[in-house]
A and B are shown apart, each in its own frame.
Chain A
Amino acid sequence: MSATRSPKVSERVAPKAADPAPEKQKKRRDDEDDGPDFSTLFHAWVESHRASLVDSLRRLAKQPIGSFFTCLVMAVALSLPMGLSLLLNNVERLGGSWQRAAQISVYLKLDASAHDGEALRTQIKGLPGVAEAEYVSREQALEEFQQQSGLGEALRELPDNPLPGVVVVTPAEVDKPALDALRQQLAELPKVELAQLDLVWVERLAAILKLGDRFVFGLTVLLVSALLLVIGNTIRLHIENRRTEIEVIKLVGGTDSYVRRPFLYMGALYGLGAGVLSWGVLAFGLNWLNDAVIGLSGLYGSDFSLAGVPGADGLSLLLGAVLLGYIGAWIAVARHLSELAPR
């Protein structure tokens, strides 16, 4: 046999006769069977994670366009519900506080004097459940009406001021039954003709916002499912491309978690990329809309403007995106790992 063996290999291998004899070799194995200490195992674990992370980054960087578009698709899926949610928050802000919206107008009798009105305002202010009370005299009411209605000339033709004095009451809390009780109490005060609680538009706005919230929730569920499918499919393709590698890893003793790890990092990295893109898209989009909103609100004498993406929301978006990427990858790997048995 040695006659047919390549001298090159024989020569290289021959010095290995100086290697430990089988007995020594066996002893060395026995020594190693004591197993590594905790520190060694911990460093190995950290090193394994670092290697998986670097490997995943390298693979993503190797296909920059493909990786970018995957992140972009995920970013769109994230931005739609997040953007709608931010817009709804702004609409709520635009609607003003519930407290301001739920004012009770207390109309006085026509024979009530300004002195009566001021006295009533003081009395109402002292009632429990009342945060603020403001008296608007008949003259002020007429003046405002003339300015706002455009019927100034016609109103001047009237022999008397037809408008009553009003006490505008701002309740301390917005609670429909409590507000109804307060309105009833106010209506029974002397010199009061009518106490009117106008919650209709507030209730409509609340209903619209509730509908909006539900729509955003439904959209979020749908798009998160779509996002999981996108990431799952992307990871599945990565798994297919690395099938041989996975089979070899399993044959040389790689555990399922070792096989799974780089794909989980990849999913999380896709999520991170999508989160960053989504945050950028939302910040840019809200800023772009803001110019138009400021112009529109200026026409109504308001200084309302859209709030950008709050830092906490942005961070939640990032964390959520990373988590979704991780979960999507986990589902994909768990689903396909059993198919990756060595052949």
Chain B
Amino acid sequence: MIRFEQVAKRYPNGHVGLHELSFRVRRGEFLFVTGHSGAGKSTLLRLLLAMERPTSGKLLLAGQDLGQISNAQIPFLRRQIGVVFQNHQLLFDRTVFNNVALPLQILGLSKVEIAKRVDSALERVALSDKSALFPGDLSTGQQQRVGIARAIVHRPALLLADEPTGNLDPRLAAEIMGVFEDINRLGTSVLIASHDLALIARMRHRMLTLQRGRLIGDGEAGQ
């Protein structure tokens, strides 16, 4: 699904985001990427979303070389990915339904199909009864779940999450992680960047540990 081969990212100001990083992620795998602030977690996610390109090395996502991908292909690559942000990135002038429907509207699905899929996604995150509300009417945890519903509604092959539980209390954080596991059970690869080691340790999935842009650990969490 994902293959990093000696991938490095250096910025024009001299800062090195990633040092020759190599690892693979299988289809359907659940993976944490952890490390302190500045370790390179966000850089890794930005490379996977083609928001940035590697300076050197080879980064393959579902067979596509993200170092060589053209700008015109990037939107179509992103349609295979679902992404969840720490700050939700919801549109507060649209209802929950319309926030979740956005990827499907971009895909050009029919209204009937959109309604069906949005209802299903909202049901999966236990927000079926909130579809007519606006994000501002929801709690932080519910907003995060709307973000997750939007990330999975188009049935992506890969789900990326950047500190998805960063603003949540432990109970809500566990609840959100449970949702990610449910999604993973349906065949979606999940990659979560988080520094919440206690939460990660409880979940016993593969964990990559980054430090100053280098991979210093690759094993099951809690071991």
Residue positions of A touching B, CB distance < 8 A: 1-2, 4-6, 8-10, 12-13, 16-17, 19-20, 22, 25-26, 28-29, 32, 36, 40-41, 43-45, 47-48, 51, 244-245, 247-256, 258, 341-342
Contact = CB atoms under 8 A, between A and B. Distances in A.
Given A1-B174, A16-B124, A47 B186 contact: no
B178 A253 contact: no
B79 interface: yes
Contacts of B203: 1
Given A20-B186, A45-B108, A249-B106, A9 B125 contact: yes
Given A1-B202, A13-B178, A252 B83 contact: yes
A10 to B, nearest CB: 6
A255 B178 contact: no
A2 B83 CA distance: 24
Interface string B149-192: 01000110100000000000011101101110110011100000
Nearest to A17: B185
A17 B109 CA distance: 26
27 contacts: A2-B178, A4-B174, A8-B126, A10-B178, A12-B124, A13-B178, A16-B186, A20-B186, A25-B155, A25-B187, A29-B155, A29-B157, A32-B155, A36-B108, A45-B108, A48-B108, A244-B89, A248-B91, A250-B78, A251-B78, A252-B79, A253-B75, A253-B106, A253-B154, A255-B75, A258-B75, A258-B106
Contacts of B175: 5-6, 9
B83 A13 contact: no
Nearest to A32: B155
A341 B110 contact: no
A250 B71 CA distance: 12
Contacts of B107: 44, 253
A342 B89 CA distance: 11
A1 B89 contact: no
A166 B45 CA distance: 97
A47 B103 CA distance: 14
A109 to B, nearest CB: 87
Interface string B73-92: 00110110001000001010
B177 A1 contact: yes
* Interface of B (DSSP majority class): helix
A249 B91 CA distance: 10
A45 B108 CA distance: 7
Nearest to A42: B108
A42 to B, nearest CB: 10
B102 A249 contact: yes
Contacts, number: 113
Given A12-B123, A44-B108, A48-B105, A251 B178 contact: no
Main secondary structure of the interface of A (DSSP, over half): helix
B67 interface: no
B182 A44 contact: no
Contacts of A341: 51
Nearest to A62: B93
A7 to B, nearest CB: 9
Given A25-B155, A255-B106, 6 more contacts: A4-B174, A6-B174, A12-B123, A13-B126, A252-B103, A252-B150
B146 interface: no
B49 interface: yes
Looking at B51, B75, B178, the one whose CB has the most chain A CB atoms below 10 A away is B75
Closest 8 CB pairs between A and B?
Answer: A44-B108, A253-B79, A22-B187, A4-B174, A12-B126, A5-B178, A6-B175, A25-B187
B28 interface: yes
A4 B51 contact: no
A247 B49 CA distance: 13
A13 B177 CA distance: 12
Given A10-B178, A41-B108, A248-B89, A253 B186 contact: no
Nearest to A12: B126
Contacts of A252: 78-79, 83, 102-103, 106, 150, 154
Interface in B37-67: 49, 51
A62 to B, nearest CB: 10
A330 to B, nearest CB: 18
Nearest to A4: B174
Contacts of A16: 123-124, 182, 186
A26 B171 contact: no
A251 B89 contact: yes
A5 to B, nearest CB: 4
A266 to B, nearest CB: 16
Contacts of B182: 13, 16
B171 A6 contact: yes
A25 B179 contact: no
